[in-house]
Structure 1
Amino acid sequence: MRKYDRTNGIILAGKAWEIREYLKKMKKRYETVYDWCSHSKKVHTAAATPRKNKGSLSIVRPIVVNGKGEAR
């Protein structure tokens, strides 16, 4: 499972059971999601410039924010 701390929230990526277990663990630690987000380390920088591997597509996909195709 991966956890991404962003300025406006937290993104969890992984299998459903991993995310459920992680949320149960955080529920014991924080009372609200707001408390959890305010105590998390924020990431303000964009991802590194993507490198093209030999034989990969030449299309560079945008950074996804909140499920929308908007780049920061």
Structure 2
Amino acid sequence: MKVYVLDKGVILSGKSWEIVQKLKQLQNKYVYINDWIADIHDQQATSPLKRIK
């Protein structure tokens, strides 16, 4: 299963049972898909790159 998060939407590709399972998993944490998208974009903005030696 693949999940593509865009600026204003989400694309879920995979088998139907995988998509339903993913949506049920997200239902426990988020009320709306917009909340999930905003949370993902906030995580990317707040996690700067770190240099590993």
Do both share a fold (TM > 0.5)? yes
Taking structure 1 as the reference length, the TM-score comes to 0.53
User: Structure with the greater relative contact order (CA < 8 A, sep ≥ 6): 1 or 2?
Assistant: 2
Where in structure 2 are there 5+ consecutive unaligned residues? 42-53
Helix, strand or coil: the match of 2:17? helix
The residue aligned with 2:30 is 30
Give the TM-score of the pair, scaled to structure 2.
0.70
Higher helix share: 2
Matches within 5 A, 1:1-72: 1-41=1-41
**Aligned equivalents of 2:23 and 2:6: distance in 1?**
17
| Structure 1 stretches lacking a partner, 5+ long | 42-72
Report which of the two structures shows the higher radius of gyration computed on alpha carbons.
1
Q: CA RMSD of the aligned region, Å?
A: 0.9
